[in-house]
């Protein structure tokens, strides 16, 4: 009886969790996820992009147990197809408008911001996180316009995103010349999103459908050229460092091979070669001139003649 009651309470708990998730706009298939992901993006004249992300989640103890992990790419591709590293400076992290504990960790090409106390398990409910960070090197310079191409949410979330939006504040004097937005997995060109402008011409991009896990929201905005300070062409030393940053993994692999191959070859020459095999020669005479009787004793370990065995 007690076992059945426990199963009943567990089923009711799961149903209530899904009902709460549906009340927050999640698809009935999901028990938890991101209710709102909004970015306020300010572009300064010196090219620094300041981003304030508001991430409102519904936690049900499935993937959101102690907090969330925001994975931010640290490389961007320029107009020539080259990958360039960009620095990210975290300014502030809040949870429900209160300063939150967090840690930064580089994993692969991402900067992972882990928000949450490892000793505190979150109860089921809605939590709001805010991450403010700054970065430089995201403005693309083209003939006739400058552009910000920005992946608002990233594509590494294993949670659904009910709604995502982004408001871009351009520097004084800049006017929007072209804009676009895209939704879906990496490389997709779906446009399930809208763009609206306020009285000052400030654009806000908004998704019009739920983003499944792995899907993201990307915006592109072209604006008046010449307002953002264009970076000076890199000098020889900076180009060398940039080239090394891109090719360092391959260089380390080559250096490792150049060091290891001679060492391993010497080790093999010293310890790895099999010794020369001795030539086996068949002998047809008794060893050490033993007599037949002595050999019989060595073979049978006895002087007694076995009558059942014919004499040899």
pLDDT tens-digit readout, 78-128: 666 667 788 999 999 999 999 999 999 998 889 999 999 999 999 999 999
7 falls within a domain: no
Same-domain check for residues 200 and 242: no
pLDDT at 30: 76
Residue carrying the six token digits 């060109």: 189
From 191, 223, 255, give the residue that closes a domain.
223
Task: Confirm if 125 and 59 have CB atoms less than 8 A apart.
Answer: yes
Q: 12-21, 236-245, 303-312: which has the highest mean pLDDT? A: 236-245
Task: Give the pLDDT mean for 160-187.
Answer: 95
Same-domain check for residues 49 and 128: yes
291 falls within a domain: no
**Distance (Å, whole) CA 282 – CA 62:** 75
Same-domain check for residues 44 and 189: yes
Mean pLDDT of the chain: 84
Task: Give the pLDDT mean for 190-210.
Answer: 96
Q: How confident is the model at residue 306 (pLDDT cuts 50, 70, 90)?
A: low
User: How many domains does the chain contain in total?
Assistant: 2
The more confidently predicted of residues 179 and 17 is 179
Q: Which residues contact 309 (CB under 8 A, 6 or more apart)?
A: none
**Distance (Å, whole) CA 191 – CA 10:** 41
From 223, 247, 282, give the residue that closes a domain.
223
Same-domain check for residues 132 and 242: no
Here the tokens at position 290 are: 């033993």
312 falls within a domain: no
pLDDT at 76: 80
**Distance (Å, whole) CA 203 – CA 23:** 29
Same-domain check for residues 103 and 252: no
Of 194, 153, 185, residue with least CA distance to 35 = 153
DSSP state of 263: H
Same-domain check for residues 174 and 255: no
Report which secondary-structure segment, H or E, holds 297.
helix 292-300
Q: Which of 8-22, 43-57, 220-234, 295-309 has the lowest average pLDDT?
A: 8-22
Q: The CATH number of the domain where 143 resides is what? A: 2.60.40.1730
pLDDT at 308: 56
209 falls within a domain: yes
Residue 50 pLDDT exceeds 80: yes
Same-domain check for residues 210 and 246: no
Q: Which of 38-42, 134-138, 270-274 has the lowest average pLDDT?
A: 270-274
292 falls within a domain: no
Q: In this prediction, what percent of the chain has a pLDDT beyond 70?
A: 80
**Distance (Å, whole) CA 84 – CA 138:** 10
280 falls within a domain: no
Q: Which of 3-7, 120-124, 139-143, 163-167 has the lowest average pLDDT?
A: 3-7
21 falls within a domain: yes
Q: How confident is the model at residue 15 (pLDDT cuts 50, 70, 90)?
A: very low
Q: In this prediction, what percent of the chain has a pLDDT beyond 90?
A: 54
Same-domain check for residues 141 and 160: yes
Same-domain check for residues 194 and 99: yes
Domain that holds residue 205: 12-223
Same-domain check for residues 53 and 148: yes
121 falls within a domain: yes
Same-domain check for residues 40 and 185: yes
Task: Give the pLDDT mean for 42-61.
Answer: 96
Task: Confirm if 24 and 89 have CB atoms less than 8 A apart.
Answer: no
pLDDT at 211: 96
**Distance (Å, whole) CA 166 – CA 150:** 10
Report which secondary-structure segment, H or E, holds 23.
helix 2-23
Same-domain check for residues 212 and 239: no
pLDDT at 176: 96
Task: Confirm if 134 and 51 have CB atoms less than 8 A apart.
Answer: yes
Residue 33 pLDDT exceeds 70: yes
pLDDT at 85: 83
pLDDT at 198: 95
**Distance (Å, whole) CA 87 – CA 114:** 18
pLDDT at 27: 64
Would you give the end-to-end CA distance of the chain in angstroms?
85
pLDDT digits (tens, 9 = 90+) for 222-277: 999 999 987 766 667 666 766 676 677 778 888 888 888 888 888 887 777 666 77
Here the tokens at position 36 are: 């709102």
Distance (Å) of CA 232 to CA 12, 143, 229, 238: 63, 17, 9, 11
Task: Confirm if 249 and 184 have CB atoms less than 8 A apart.
Answer: no
DSSP state of 270: I
């Amino acid at each position: 009886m007690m076992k059945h009651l426990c199963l009943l309470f567990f089923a009711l708990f799961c149903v209530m969790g899904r009902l709460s998730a549906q009340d927050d706009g999640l698809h009935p298939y999901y028990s938890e996820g991101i209710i709102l992901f909004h970015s306020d993006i300010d572009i300064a004249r010196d090219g620094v992009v300041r981003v304030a992300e508001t991430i409102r989640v519904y936690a049900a103890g499935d993937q959101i147990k102690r907090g969330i992990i925001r994975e931010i790419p640290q490389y961007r591709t320029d107009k020539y197809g080259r990958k360039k590293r960009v620095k990210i400076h975290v300014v502030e992290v809040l949870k429900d408008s209160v300063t939150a504990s967090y840690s930064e960790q580089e994993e692969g090409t991402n900067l992972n911001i882990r928000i949450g106390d490892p000793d505190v398990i979150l109860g089921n409910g809605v939590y709001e996180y805010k991450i403010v960070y700054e970065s430089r090197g995201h403005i693309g310079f083209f003939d006739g316009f400058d552009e910000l191409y920005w992946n608002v949410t990233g594509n590494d979330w294993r949670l659904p995103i009910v709604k995502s939006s982004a408001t871009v504040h351009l520097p004084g004097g800049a006017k929007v010349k072209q804009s676009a937005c895209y939704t879906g997995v990496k490389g997709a060109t779906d446009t399930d999103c809208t763009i609206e402008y306020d009285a000052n011409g400030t654009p806000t991009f908004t998704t019009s459908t739920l983003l499944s896990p792995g899907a993201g929201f990307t915006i592109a905005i072209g604006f008046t050229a010449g307002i953002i300070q264009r970076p000076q062409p890199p000098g020889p030393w900076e180009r060398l460092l940039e080239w090394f940053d891109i090719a360092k993994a391959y260089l380390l692999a080559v250096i490792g091979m150049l060091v290891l191959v001679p060492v391993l070859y010497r080790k093999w020459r010293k310890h790895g070669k099999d010794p020369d095999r001795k030539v086996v020669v068949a002998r047809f005479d008794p060893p050490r001139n033993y007599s037949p009787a002595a050999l019989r004793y060595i073979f049978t370990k006895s002087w007694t003649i076995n009558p059942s065995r014919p004499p040899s």
